[in-house]
């Protein structure tokens, strides 16, 4: 594929600086964070909406020092995931 600036793109590494690969341009920490994020996203896709809402509300509760999430926390995550599934912005 030829880009508007004339560059030929045959490989993902062609999107980066000439002669450098993605790995050469990003440090190991950036690549590891990206991989961790992908693992989290894939894990969430395997969970039901209710499981994801409970899990995220539970994490939030731990962060603020609660033993368990409040019903409002869980409901907030449920609304957010429902909106995402409908491709809407949560309100």
Please give the Cα distance from 77 to 72 (Å, whole number): 9
Through-space distance between the first and last CA atoms of the chain, rounded to whole angstroms? 41
pLDDT tens, residue by residue, 18-64: 656 666 666 667 777 777 777 777 776 767 888 889 999 999 999 99
68 Cα distance to chain centroid: 24
**C-alpha to C-alpha distances, 73 to 33, 48, 58, 78, 80, nearest whole angstrom:** 27, 17, 9, 9, 11
If DSSP codes are grouped into helix, strand and coil, which group holds residue 1?
coil
pTM: 0.47
């Amino acid at each position: 594929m030829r880009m508007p600036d004339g560059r030929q793109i045959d490989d993902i590494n062609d999107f980066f600086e000439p002669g450098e690969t993605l790995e050469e341009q990003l440090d190991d920490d950036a690549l590891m964070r990206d991989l961790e994020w992908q693992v989290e996203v894939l894990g969430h896709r395997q969970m039901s909406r209710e499981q994801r809402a409970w899990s995220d509300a539970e994490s939030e509760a731990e962060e603020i020092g609660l033993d368990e999430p409040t019903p409002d926390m869980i409901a907030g995550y449920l609304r957010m995931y429902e909106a995402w599934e409908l491709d809407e912005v949560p309100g």
